[in-house]
Structure 1
């Protein structure tokens, strides 16, 4: 069931998108607020050595993207999307407040991961239901939704990071819990603008019966593997890059030192600045018949991220042991964020748009499986940070992102055919 196309609000989109946008904004405020503090909290308060802290960080951020597989299946078969979102948000609120106790550190991480599994695939899974299949606004819906993700991610380091760094990490964690509570409140109040849950998928139904051929599933699996490799490099932003910012970046500005956590806001801020520019350029190219396919865009994004890390490696090598000026870090984030916009929202939109209606949450959860594996590997790779020079480590990350470029390029042609079949209304 879709919401009437005449209902408009933010940027001419249905009111339900505003509800989902704001709910996701506050959820990401809580997630990135907690993530911004995590490595610093472990190494300075819990006194966990860097290598082990990086592995814990990687395992946690990996599990965050594993539990949605089970949450998506539970929602599609039994709970429904709305109930799953409410349950997941409530559980995450509990976990964030548990972080105030050092003794509950590991249980709190587990509780947040469980709640996230119910929440993460089921909120974006409601976006497509806001539109009729022929609604021209549908193509830009996930880009706007992704802006909500990054608005929360932008605010989190500025608020939770600054409070945690100045007044104590526990206060920053508490603020993250308040943000999650705000998101749940908005979702409950705006429920009348959201699409009804589709019929549950019967336990006996098989994937092929839902319109997904084995060849199509293999192509989706190939995209997931390529994005896993990409995330090994990309997810260093909140891990080893954060440590480098704290130790090797000159953060002075007119006699004032920029808080190290604030640099985590650069990425989401740039998402807001760059998204309208890129979307306008993509729409103009599409109208002229020169638009790139989804996989070509994703390969371009991986190439930009590889260039960002190679550039940072060069700067780190040239400066040697001296501090790197923070403006070079800004340049790095411009390239990194441009690449992110070419790959992550495009991939999320693919999985949400091409999935059969009764498998949407499960397919979006499968997309997040790439984040699970990528974060896990990123944590393991990050544990070698203290044994390598910064320049060598960043060059390694550039090489890893380059492998993703090659894998995505190999998938461009077969995936273009898959999209053409979907646009023609054929089963994939």
Structure 2
């Protein structure tokens, strides 16, 4: 789970306190509102994000690749907008107003997302799929853009604003606050990734019953409203700082001037300078230039880092989609595919103290030089191993999936509803079917075929290419004849089970399961499919006279059954024994627990990579430029998500396991490059370097002023020369005109 660290240098001369701070046990009361705000905001964000890719796939009906692309585009935006939020807060509005205004935008975005998921606000077809899908897509995109602006904009402000509530002598309390703040982030994300998938799995709707995405998005929207209200309620207790100018803007201006000045003097005779940033000395202090050099040195090491995040953030996209094809029955618990994401924050809470108190001290005692950059290299390698593990799991899943028909082949299976054994020849396939039984596997047909039911009873069969069908053989007078019904040709969605009834009974029957109705089926006819959730399903079968039979079947995840009611069926105490289930699509057999190793590896990689990376970066950066590295770090997350959407659209690999291997290979390559860069990196002492330039020599200042004045005079003289030249030209032209 991503962590937001906002470290600011607190200057007692820049604080503007509205009034003395009220405290409890030495802590400002105002931090309570900030911590609650952060908990609710993180619950809102991660709760919405946990179900987002399934919303794209199952509600908006996007394929896996496009759903993954839009998901990672959204995440990338969430990590690009913090730079905008930091500039707005530090340069114009201040942290308090920035948080309030962008939280309003954030809240509106969550509300729009909840509204976009209400499928009853437009007409729906018989499957409950909205007909006017453009309306839902448009609302969803507007909601996601507003959320990205809101969550990204307040990201660099909230923690820093909490730090502003403490006096300079409250360093210990401030440190405790950041620990509590970090805990609120993980608590909010953990609870939301448990709760919102449960809300999504509920059935809701006015005209049609569907998975309850409005509730899954609505609860995070409500938590964002609470976050905004709580934060505003504490307004009178906050210490608010005036905008002091954004250091990121200042750094960019300094770099820009150095580049421009370097190229300006390129063609002239000019002494070489040790570092290209030294070309900014004409305008900027040597201290600032030295600080920028230190920052650039760290930012250079950031170049390979986006590849790690490209893998890490696929937990919410590819890995969640992978879980939809797996078995989530853990005995006492039934885990939804999107709930597997909770493994990450749980493992973080376990692994962080283990690494700090056990692993790192043990390595240190072994006299091994496990430097921060080496730790980050190991973290990247662990993430690559996680994707290799995911590929191995995917290979096992693919072996259990049915072979659905291609665009040139039709598939069919046969059910014998005749009260005797039949010898059947269907094209090149010969087999025997007992009464009220079906063959186990589908047969492939490339075109029309001859169907021979024995005794010269032959028919012409034709299964359209790209479809699946069930051919039911019924008794027609003295001879059997075939009847064809269309089957589903993909796994049932969201781990549910597609169930239908074949009524061979000599009467109209009605079947229900819970609140779901199969409808009335006449003799020798098939009902529509109904999506039934995992568990022990009780099917109630009734006739027109009110007689009822209850048939119970345990259902797994992602299966499809045809339940045969034979002609010999009779209502009574043992009526359910005569019902014959036919497996059309086998349930998922690979357990979700097999995803735990890949989650463990990616989380261990995150702990070693992310936490160490932030600690290293801040230890190598000047005290007043932590926010610059914060922005750079968040930018690597954004670029990593952009890499995913590029690969998802461009790779076009036929198998998902191959894409996992591709990502793992790319990260291993980047890991090698980073290891080489780390080998040549020289660790710095920013405090020592800053001390050297803290007191610039007076003659240096005078020299820079002289250079600036000389430059200004040169520009003025140049302008004057041009004016004189223009004036002379005008006079000459006048003379020529007179002549």
With normalisation by structure 2, the TM-score equals 0.50
Aligned to 2:90: 76
- Report the Cα distance in structure 1 between the residues aligned to 2:180 and 2:679, rounded to whole angstroms: 28
* Residue 156 (structure 1) aligned to one of 175, 182, 192: 192
Whether contact under 8 Å (2:43, 2:188) holds in the other structure is: yes
Aligned to 2:517: none
Aligned to 2:638: 372
2:156 equivalent to 1:121: yes
Give matches, 1:160-309, under 5 Å.
Answer: 160-167=196-203, 168-188=212-232, 197=241, 200-201=244-245, 206-207=250-251, 211=288, 213-247=291-325, 249-254=326-331, 257-281=334-358, 284=361, 292-309=370-387
Using the TM superposition, give the Cα deviation of residue 98 of structure 1 relative to its aligned residue in structure 2, in angstroms: 0.8
Which runs of 5 or more structure 1 residues have no equivalent in the other structure?
none
Structure with the bigger percentage of helix: 1
- Report the Cα distance in structure 2 between the residues aligned to 1:196 and 1:268, rounded to whole angstroms: 32
- Report the Cα distance in structure 2 between the residues aligned to 1:311 and 1:199, rounded to whole angstroms: 48
2:471 equivalent to 1:394: no
Query: After superposition, what is the alpha-carbon deviation per residue over 1:205-252, rounded to whole angstroms, capped at 9, x for unaligned?
Result: 7325583644323333233322211111111111111111112x2212
- Report the Cα distance in structure 1 between the residues aligned to 2:618 and 2:670, rounded to whole angstroms: 22
Change (3 A) 1:310 1:286: closer
Using the TM superposition, give the Cα deviation of residue 172 of structure 1 relative to its aligned residue in structure 2, in angstroms: 0.9
- Report the Cα distance in structure 2 between the residues aligned to 1:17 and 1:280, rounded to whole angstroms: 29
Whether contact under 8 Å (2:93, 2:243) holds in the other structure is: no
- Report the Cα distance in structure 1 between the residues aligned to 2:76 and 2:159, rounded to whole angstroms: 19
Structure with the bigger percentage of strand: 2
- Report the Cα distance in structure 1 between the residues aligned to 2:73 and 2:154, rounded to whole angstroms: 19
- Report the Cα distance in structure 1 between the residues aligned to 2:174 and 2:673, rounded to whole angstroms: 28
- What is the number of equivalent residue pairs in this alignment? 422
Using the TM superposition, give the Cα deviation of residue 48 of structure 1 relative to its aligned residue in structure 2, in angstroms: 2.1
Does the residue aligned with 2:47 lie in a helix, a strand or coil? helix
Identify the range of structure 1 (23-32 vs 348-357) with the bigger mean alpha-carbon deviation. Answer: 348-357
Using the TM superposition, give the Cα deviation of residue 284 of structure 1 relative to its aligned residue in structure 2, in angstroms: 4.2
Whether contact under 8 Å (2:44, 2:192) holds in the other structure is: yes
- Report the Cα distance in structure 1 between the residues aligned to 2:354 and 2:27, rounded to whole angstroms: 19
Using the TM superposition, give the Cα deviation of residue 390 of structure 1 relative to its aligned residue in structure 2, in angstroms: 3.3
* Residue 33 (structure 1) aligned to one of 18, 37, 47: 47
Query: Max radius of gyration: which structure?
Result: 2
- Report the Cα distance in structure 2 between the residues aligned to 1:185 and 1:19, rounded to whole angstroms: 10
Does the residue aligned with 1:100 lie in a helix, a strand or coil? helix
Change (3 A) 1:126 1:98: same
- Report the Cα distance in structure 1 between the residues aligned to 2:397 and 2:653, rounded to whole angstroms: 19
Using the TM superposition, give the Cα deviation of residue 86 of structure 1 relative to its aligned residue in structure 2, in angstroms: 2.3
Using the TM superposition, give the Cα deviation of residue 310 of structure 1 relative to its aligned residue in structure 2, in angstroms: 1.7
Change (3 A) 1:270 1:255: closer
- Report the Cα distance in structure 2 between the residues aligned to 1:131 and 1:276, rounded to whole angstroms: 29
Using the TM superposition, give the Cα deviation of residue 368 of structure 1 relative to its aligned residue in structure 2, in angstroms: 0.9
Whether contact under 8 Å (1:28, 1:152) holds in the other structure is: yes
Query: After superposition, what is the alpha-carbon deviation per residue over 1:160-183, rounded to whole angstroms, capped at 9, x for unaligned?
Result: 221122141111111111222333
Aligned to 1:100: 114
Query: After superposition, what is the alpha-carbon deviation per residue over 1:340-364, rounded to whole angstroms, capped at 9, x for unaligned?
Result: 1122233345556665566554542
Aligned to 2:436: none
Aligned to 1:58: 72
Aligned to 2:585: none
* Residue 345 (structure 1) aligned to one of 607, 611, 617: 611
- Report the Cα distance in structure 2 between the residues aligned to 1:328 and 1:353, rounded to whole angstroms: 38
Query: After superposition, what is the alpha-carbon deviation per residue over 1:361-387, rounded to whole angstroms, capped at 9, x for unaligned?
Result: 454222211111111211232347874
- Report the Cα distance in structure 1 between the residues aligned to 2:623 and 2:686, rounded to whole angstroms: 16
Using the TM superposition, give the Cα deviation of residue 318 of structure 1 relative to its aligned residue in structure 2, in angstroms: 5.1
Identify the range of structure 1 (324-333 vs 31-40) with the bigger mean alpha-carbon deviation. Answer: 324-333
Does the residue aligned with 1:324 lie in a helix, a strand or coil? coil
Whether contact under 8 Å (2:86, 2:246) holds in the other structure is: no
Using the TM superposition, give the Cα deviation of residue 24 of structure 1 relative to its aligned residue in structure 2, in angstroms: 3.0
Identify the range of structure 1 (318-327 vs 351-360) with the bigger mean alpha-carbon deviation. Answer: 351-360
With normalisation by structure 1, the TM-score equals 0.83
Identify the range of structure 1 (147-156 vs 59-68) with the bigger mean alpha-carbon deviation. Answer: 147-156
Using the TM superposition, give the Cα deviation of residue 422 of structure 1 relative to its aligned residue in structure 2, in angstroms: 4.1
- Report the Cα distance in structure 2 between the residues aligned to 1:345 and 1:194, rounded to whole angstroms: 30
Using the TM superposition, give the Cα deviation of residue 255 of structure 1 relative to its aligned residue in structure 2, in angstroms: 8.1
